[in-house]
Chain A
Amino acid sequence: MSTDGEEIGATPGSAPRRTLVRGPQNPPTAEEALLDPRQGFLHPQEERDGPERLDPRLRALISVKLRTASSIGIGFFAVLVLAYLGLALSTDGGLLAWVIPGLVMYPLIIAVGWFYLRRVLSYDQAYREERDA
């Protein structure tokens, strides 16, 4: 990523020179746009020479994450639908029809999110340990 600027206060033989920075004038390159230096495992060269098939350990990691996420996502949607049906069937659903969607659902969403975050971080950690072993 380059920046255009103009030298100010420069005299012959003096160093370093001060540069007035005007900000970037050029677009980011594809490398800048699509590669993050913090990507630990993959680098452009590795990617060009990389494997054609997913590493079995990585495939297993993706599968377990997808299974967990799908179970929680579909399960939570089902809970919402069943809660609605239960409230619609209830003959005494007046107050509950307000309290459940108005108050009860929010702690439930946070709890489900916390559960998933813990699980997925532990999956990642187990993958790192297995890979580094």
Chain B
Amino acid sequence: MPEVLAVSSTPVLVSVVLVSAVTLLVSAYGVRLSRSTGDFYVASRRVSPRMNASAVAGEYISAASFLGVAGLILVEGTYGLWFPVGYTAGFLTMLLFVAGPLRRSGAYTVPDFVTLRFASTRLRVLTVMIVVLTGWLYIVPQLHGAALALSTTARLPDWAGPVAVVLVVLATVMPGGMRSVTIAQAVQYWIKLCALLIPLVFILLRLGVLGGAQGSGEGPDFSAVWEGSGLGFGDFYRTVSLILALMLGTIGLPHVLVRFYTNPDGDAARRTTFLLLGLLSAFYVLPVAFGVIARAVLTGPEAQVSPDTAVLRLPSVIFDGAAGDLLTAVVAGGAFAAFLSTTSGLVVSVSGVLSQEFFGGTVRGFRIAAVLAVALPLAIATATSHVALAGAVAMVFTFTSSAMAPLLLLGIWWAGVTAQGAFAGMVTGAAASLVSMALGLALGEGAAGAMFFMYPALWCVPVAFAAAVVVSRLGSGSPPADTVRVLSRLHLPEKR
């Protein structure tokens, strides 16, 4: 059970209700614009790069980014800094290899792309399973984050946060699908940015870093943060494996991929991705700054207790009374926006896939699938205890980098890949990463060799690629008959 903060819960609850109300109002505006199945699934492919970049950033900045990064820096120091670098560099990979061609495929969902490229029912079913599993695995940490944030700041029971997130997300997603979610997520990016930026400015002024008058008592000693905190070779394997997982795992996240289908064309998808690099860079400086300040300020034994609450704790540690209450409420509201936006993106992507597969792609099917998409994660989140947010999300990235990245990269860029090869790569990557991480968790972080299993991307990804290439080259299958036509579609520039 995390430590409950000594702040008034009323401002926090007001802030959370306000964020929920803004989300619902903006979504209702989107519902008025939503008129067709195309609106539901891909916002009629008319989302501009600026709007879509904000929406993708809003969706991508999850509990792990908003709360987890600072907590990781507090506990692990410089190792935590590589997480946001990897998160941002993931979109560089997206820009380089995936965004333009994927949009030109014209697909609604990742399984649609697989059908177009490989014309294999077996591979499509496997892709559906991987997409749904990824979505469920990613929703659980968001709901854990909601439980943590609301129990810590507003003294609500652990189930209240996840239930609140699920209710608001369903109210957002079910009426208007992708059209309403797009606008809501774009707004939520800016809410999250302001929710960290405003408290950070006040904190830096209070600490005298920005030249403001320093409060009573001595300020923290930042030099103690830098000294003796250089990088070690012991973390080399873990860090490099993590960076690879984040750089390749991003291109396998279904809720991120589905957003690129909403752009008008491939060029717009590329421009969206480039703008994203700027938006993410602007955001990630903030949790990094919070992490550094937390490391300087939270020096007692309480630093090791639930580090994911460091961002929520800092305002009340630095400011007394109403100022601390208000700034905590601002941060809590931003955190709630993070849970909402990521969960709604995941629900849209999982619902789209489930609806296409099992409910004929109807709007009614989409709504039923939306309930199914959150039901299991809600049950898991309320039944299990909180784990480190950044670590849990990194595992999902490891899984997608091993299972999805070979399929997408080879499918987009190599004419020689066969359906059997893609299937082999996907199964190998998924099985190797899941078994390895389960083994690592069973061994425990302190056990000898545990790091090799807990951070397996460095060997799982090459093994998955090798399986796909070897089976494509040596297997009995041949590339699909329309490979040339599909690759032409993926890579031909749009007419001007």
Q: Mark B203-241, 1 if CB is under 8 A from A, else 0.
A: 000000000000000000000011111111100100110
- Kindly state whether residue B350 has any CB partner on chain A within 8 Å: no
A84 in contact with B239 (CB, 8 Å): yes
A102 in contact with B108 (CB, 8 Å): no
* Minimum C-beta distance from B254 to chain A (A): 16
Those of A45-104 within 8 Å (CB) of chain B: 47, 50-55, 58, 61-62, 65-66, 69, 72-73, 76-77, 80-81, 84-85, 87-88, 90, 93-95, 97-98, 101-103
Known: A84-B231, A88-B236. A106 touches B485 (CB 8 A): no
Question: Which one of A62, A85, A102 has the highest number of Cβ atoms from chain B below 10 Å of its Cβ?
Answer: A102
Interface class of chain B by DSSP: helix
- Kindly state whether residue A20 has any CB partner on chain B within 8 Å: no
> Which partner residue on chain B sits nearest A117 by CB separation?
B274
* A41 contact from B81, B277, B285, B492, Cβ within 8 A: B492
A127 in contact with B37 (CB, 8 Å): no
- Kindly state whether residue B190 has any CB partner on chain A within 8 Å: no
B41 in contact with A76 (CB, 8 Å): no
- Kindly state whether residue B331 has any CB partner on chain A within 8 Å: no
* B277 contact from A3, A73, A109, Cβ within 8 A: A109
B495 in contact with A40 (CB, 8 Å): yes
Stretch at the interface among B94-102, B140-148, B158-166: B94-102
> Which partner residue on chain B sits nearest A53 by CB separation?
B484
- Kindly state whether residue B157 has any CB partner on chain A within 8 Å: no
A28 in contact with B92 (CB, 8 Å): no
Question: Which one of B231, B239, B364 has the highest number of Cβ atoms from chain A below 10 Å of its Cβ?
Answer: B231
A58 to B88, CA, bound (A): 31
A47 to B485, CA, bound (A): 6
Chain B residues near A51 (CB-CB < 8 A): 484
* Minimum C-beta distance from B314 to chain A (A): 17
Those of B76-123 within 8 Å (CB) of chain A: 78, 81-82, 85, 88-89, 91-93, 95-97, 100, 104-108, 112, 115-116
Binding site for A on B (CB under 8 A): 35-38, 40-41, 45, 78, 81-82, 85, 88-89, 91-93, 95-97, 100, 104-108, 112, 115-116, 225-233, 236, 239-240, 243-244, 247, 264-265, 267, 270-271, 273-274, 277-278, 281, 284-285, 288, 292, 356, 360-365, 413, 415, 482, 484-485, 487-489, 491-496
User: 27 interchain pairs (CB within 8 A)?
Assistant: A1-B36, A21-B35, A23-B35, A24-B40, A26-B37, A27-B362, A32-B38, A36-B104, A39-B489, A41-B492, A41-B495, A47-B482, A50-B485, A54-B415, A54-B487, A54-B488, A58-B491, A58-B492, A76-B89, A84-B231, A88-B230, A88-B236, A94-B228, A97-B229, A97-B231, A106-B88, A124-B493
Binding site for B on A (CB under 8 A): 1, 3, 21, 23-28, 32-36, 38-42, 47, 50-55, 58, 61-62, 65-66, 69, 72-73, 76-77, 80-81, 84-85, 87-88, 90, 93-95, 97-98, 101-103, 105-107, 109-110, 112-114, 116-117, 120-121, 124-125, 127-128
Closest 10 CB pairs of A and B: A40-B495, A27-B361, A124-B493, A106-B281, A69-B96, A93-B230, A101-B81, A36-B106, A24-B37, A88-B231
